[in-house]
Amino acid sequence: MNRHQLRAALREAGVGDSRYGIMTPDLRTSEHIQESVPVLVGAPDQSWAIEAWERGDHWVEASFDSEEAACAYLYDRLVKH
């Protein structure tokens, strides 16, 4: 699953757009992401991460070598929990 398929799958599963973020050059779910929601971030070196921000603090929840693994992680986190 890629980031576009992830967004479609999350919407189909009833996950609201405000419960997550996607920040890549070709797809941004919002210009202003709410604090403490997981955000899929693609890096220029082709690595992927799930990141979060809260009260000015930033952390990486998980890192991945592939977009598919990052998307699967975020889908599972939001749909299966």
Residue 23 pLDDT = 87
> Is the four-CA dihedral 30, 31, 35, 36 of positive or negative sign?
positive
Phi, psi angle pair for 78, to nearest 5°: -90, -30
Model confidence pLDDT, tens digit, residues 22-78: 987 666 666 556 668 999 999 888 899 999 988 888 899 999 999 999 999 999 999
Domain boundaries, the chain: 3-79
Q: How far lies 42's CA from each of 5, 10, 75, in Å?
A: 15, 18, 16
Instruction: Tell how strand 21-24 and strand 39-42 pair up.
Output: parallel
